[in-house]
Amino acid sequence: MPDPLSDSILTPQEVLIVIGDATETVDTLYPYYRLQESGFKPVVIGPERRVFQMVLHEVRPGWTITREWEGYQLAAELAFCDVNPENYCGIFFSGGRAPEYIRYDKDLVRITRHFFDAHKPVASVCHGVEIPAYAGCVKGRRMATVAKCRFDLEVAGGIFVDAPCVIDGTLVSGRTFHDHGHYVGPWIRLLEEARTKRCHGE
């Protein structure tokens, strides 16, 4: 008799990673490879199906604001308009300046609302919060984000928490790429728990 758990390992469940031009490199690649290590297939999506330019996004000594340096490039497998969110088990909102621009995309709003409404595992870091905030998904939710995005969270009804990992139900968040080692693991554990329940028909 086939083992559904073994079948799920052979056919990895897919998880969305949202990017655009000026997405933060480390914010994106760290969860991308951690998902692969855990047996999931990361699916990168963007405003169009093309290659996007990522950046290194940080405050360096001598500066009081964020600066950007070019990072790696990454291809989006699908455009937002071509995504059926029901086919995916989780979503990750990366940081950098991209969220400030792509949050207004109506299809990205549609996708975002699906994951919150369906209580699927969601992760967000740094400026990534700007997407669920604009989509109206953070009211009453506790989240971490970079300090300068605190207003974006709170004006949308969210609750700012200055911590490396904030878990609110199936929503997991961190402040910046310095927190990856704290919040990505708990998010992946939620994905693994959901995968196990699905395999056992729960």
In this predicted model, what pLDDT tens digit does every residue of 94-151 receive, in sequence order?
999 999 999 999 999 999 999 999 999 999 999 999 999 999 999 999 999 999 999 9
**What's the confidence (pLDDT) of residue 185?**
98
Domains of the chain by range and CATH? 4-199 (3.40.50.880)
| Average pLDDT score over residue span 59-63 | 82
At 62, the pLDDT band (50, 70, 90 cuts) reads: confident
Rg from Cα positions in the chain? 16
State the Cα–Cα distance between residues 15 and 92, nearest whole angstrom: 8
Q: Taking the mean position of all CA atoms in its chain, how far away is CA 144?
A: 13
pLDDT of 57: 81
Across-strand partners of 145? none
Q: How far apart are CA 36 and CA 173, in angstroms?
A: 20
pLDDT at 86 over 70: yes
With a pLDDT cut of 90, the percent of the chain lying above it is 84
Query: Does the pLDDT value for residue 171 go beyond 60?
Result: yes
- CA nearest 120: which of 140, 107, 137? 137
pLDDT of res. 9: 47
pLDDT for 51 equals 98
CA distances from 77 to 40, 46, 117 (A): 16, 8, 24
Q: Which residues are catalytic?
A: 127
Side by side, the strands of the sheet bearing 23-24 are: 23-24, 51-58, 67-75
Pairing of strands 90-93, 159-160: unpaired
Residue 198 scores a pLDDT above 90: no
pLDDT of residue 58: 81
Of 187, 176, 180, 179, the C-alpha closest to 145 is: 176
Model confidence over 18-41: pLDDT tens digits?
Answer: 999 999 999 999 999 999 999 999
Q: How confident is the model at residue 2 (pLDDT cuts 50, 70, 90)?
A: very low
Q: Is 138:129 a contact under the CB 8 Å cutoff?
A: yes
